[in-house]
Amino acid sequence: MKSLARRTVTFVQYAIIDTEWGAFGYVVRDGRLVATFLPASRTAIKRAIKQRWPDAVETSNLLPRFRKQVTDYFAGKSVKFTVDLDISDLPTFRQSVLKQCRRIPCGKTASYADLARAVGNPGAVRAVGGAMANNPLPLVIPCHRVLRSDGSLGGFSTPQGVKQKKRMLRLEDAPAVLP
């Protein structure tokens, strides 16, 4: 007699909301945030979500407190994101870097080298950069607050690139932002 393997069922939902900067998307798995999509077109965000999570269900009032925090942020209000995250499917090193990055407060910046030291691996500056470039939760894990050691902006893996990073830092009144 064949034994049926137990299959774990996960419930993936997403929402796309309007902010003062445009549409913002987010994905929730089993009640925890797994991905965010910075302002872009609704079509582009929905396409990216459906490509990764084809069975995700759009849910209009998903995580209402988080939804308010996002709209407040893009309206220029000071926000501390209090949502539960799920980054458990990422490699251990990347998880530790993202957890350290999440500790950078609004209006402050850190360098890639600062994060490498914070995770106990000062020689891993490039690996930290890779973790930032592949951050599944931009805004909530504020990779836009991470700069090069010389204070320059470095990169930003969004369609608007460094321009959006600079705009976000200006919104937060971060002191290291160049004109």
CB atoms within 10 A of CB 111: 18
Q: At what angle do helices 92-102 and 125-133 cross, to 10 degrees?
A: 80
pTM value? 0.88
User: What residues act catalytically?
Assistant: 143
Pairing label, strands 32-40, 146-147:
unpaired
Q: What is the pLDDT of residue 173?
A: 83
Report residue 123 as tokens: 């020689």
pLDDT along the chain (179 residues), means of 10: 53 95 96 95 96 94 96 93 95 96 92 95 93 94 90 77 87 67
Say which DSSP state 141 is in: B
Q: What is the pLDDT of residue 96?
A: 97
Question: How far is 169 from 15, CA to CA, in rounded Å?
Answer: 25
Q: Which residues contact 94 (CB under 8 A, 6 or more apart)?
A: 87, 130, 131, 134
- Contact yes or no for 154/147 (Cβ under 8 A): yes
Measure the CA angle with vertex 100, ends 98 and 104; round to 5°.
105
User: Ramachandran region of residue 63, left (φ > 0), alpha (ψ -120 to 50) or beta?
Assistant: left
Question: What domains lie within the chain, and their CATH numbers?
Answer: 12-74 (no CATH), 92-171 (1.10.10.10)
Q: What is the pLDDT of residue 179?
A: 45
